[in-house]
Amino acid sequence: MFTVLSNTWALLLGMTLLMLGNGLQGTLLGVRGQAAGFSTLELSVVMSAYFVGFLGGSRLTPELIRRVGHVRVFAALGSLISAVLILYPAFAHPYVWVLGRLVIGFCFSGVYVTAESWLNNSVTNDQRGQALSLYMIVQMLGIIAAQALLNVPDASGFLLFIIPSVLVSVAFAPILLSISPTPAFEATKPKTLRALFGVSPLGFVGMFMLGSVFAAQFGMSAVFGAEAGLSLAEISIFVSAFYVGALLLQYPLGWLSDRMDRRVLIMVTAALGGGAALLAFGFGQNYTVLLVAAFFIGGTSNPLYSLLIAHTNDFLDTDDMAAASGGMLFINGLGAIAGPMVTGWLMSVLGAYGFFLIIAVMMSVLAIYAAYRMTQRAAPNVDETAAYTPMMPTASVVAMEVAQEYAAEVAEEAAAEAEAAADADAKEVNNGAAW
């Protein structure tokens, strides 16, 4: 772990600052948009635009990197992010914010692609799992810490937009001054959606559902807080609770997933998240109930992302795992685009607490579908399943492919160890017979 930190500390520090900026701007737009008189539906479109840009960036950035290199792409996208953050308060109009979120989503996706390429290049194969875990942790910590900045006094109305702009600008210094450019990479051609559905219907459907749930959390939780009349301090703690739950429950659920039928765990985890959302829908006027519900919604939805990837890998050859990552990311992106808009529509019809109802429905449908899939085919042998690798739903195609490659390496090592153990047992039996 210390070796990984020594090789990647500048990159991880830069990513922490980037997540501080990204986490703050997402929450801030929800609060300021509501104060500026934007309708809930308008804010939902603003939030969805981020995921449209993010999906586009994940497709186009690899080609940009091949043309001009990592450093130029990284610096250019960072400059655009800082500029848009400053422009938000100057042009407080829904159409302008939609365009800004589209650009920022594209840029952050490209930044993640570039940073994750550097991360993969700076560690050895046996350090890859630790590097991915550290990367996920700093992303979570950055988003959680960003919510505290929402409470900074802002008499002018501009300061809270300037802070993320500065954080993003500063984030590039440790990265660009300490990391040399990596060779241009070739992204793996993704599997077709039909082929991916044929491999794992549960993984396919689940990734779409989770895209909607995560995007609702990431984009609309602050809008809910503002609509429900929470104070800024209460909103910041409420939004943080989603990511605290994700951080604390990721590894226990991962440990369980390597020791049981993952479909059972997916069903139970989704049902727990859906139950927490229903609890908030019915009793969310109590702030403590809100925090508990947010903790368990975030603590189930984020690990479910990694669980569904691992479950899909259980039915793939190791050579096909990386190719599946692009298709899964695309499915998740489609769900993420739809999530805020459906949530915003339901909130405009039912009021603020419609936010929790759509999450409850999505998670419950996922739990029911997981139960149904258990009746359609037998579970793979637990000893032969793919390794669980913790992942954030904000990961780019690069991190997805790295995680898939890591899972394939672990599976190959486990198979080699099992084969060696079987050979040793056979040799011992033969020696005993000869004696």
* pLDDT-wise least confident of 11-15, 96-100, 163-167, 227-231: 11-15
Whether pLDDT at 164 is above 70: yes
Q: Which of 113-122, 157-166, 275-284 has the highest mean pLDDT?
A: 275-284
Look at the alpha carbons of 12, 13, 14, 18 in this order and tell me if their dihedral is positive or negative: positive
pLDDT-above-90 percentage for the chain: 31
pLDDT digits (tens, 9 = 90+) for 294-338: 999 999 998 898 888 888 888 877 667 666 777 788 888 888 999
pLDDT digits (tens, 9 = 90+) for 344-366: 999 999 999 999 999 999 999 99
Higher per-residue pLDDT: 248 or 400: 248
Q: How far apart, in whole angstroms, are the C-alpha atoms of residue 360 and residue 363? A: 5
Q: Mean pLDDT score of the chain, rounded to an integer?
A: 83
Residue 76: which region, alpha, beta or left (left: phi > 0; alpha: psi -120 to 50)? alpha
pLDDT band at residue 1 under the 50/70/90 scheme: low
Question: Which pLDDT score is estimated for 425?
Answer: 61
Higher per-residue pLDDT: 20 or 61: 20
Higher per-residue pLDDT: 366 or 416: 366
pLDDT band at residue 155 under the 50/70/90 scheme: low
Instruction: Specify the 3-state DSSP secondary structure of 124.
Output: coil
pLDDT digits (tens, 9 = 90+) for 93-116: 999 999 999 999 999 888 888 877
Q: How far apart, in whole angstroms, are the C-alpha atoms of residue 241 and residue 235? A: 10
Question: Which pLDDT score is estimated for 367?
Answer: 95
pLDDT band at residue 182 under the 50/70/90 scheme: low
3-state helix, strand, coil in the chain (%, to 5): 85, 0, 15
Radius of gyration from C-alpha coordinates of the chain: 22
Whether pLDDT at 173 is above 90: no
Whether pLDDT at 377 is above 60: yes
Single pTM value for the model:
0.86
Whether pLDDT at 20 is above 60: yes
The CATH class, in words, for 2-420 is mainly alpha
DSSP state of 37: T
pLDDT digits (tens, 9 = 90+) for 31-47: 889 888 899 999 999 99
Question: Which pLDDT score is estimated for 283?
Answer: 93
Q: Which of 2-16, 124-138, 251-265, 389-403 has the highest mean pLDDT?
A: 251-265
Whether pLDDT at 270 is above 90: yes
Higher per-residue pLDDT: 150 or 188: 150
Count of CB atoms situated within 10 Å of the CB of 254: 19
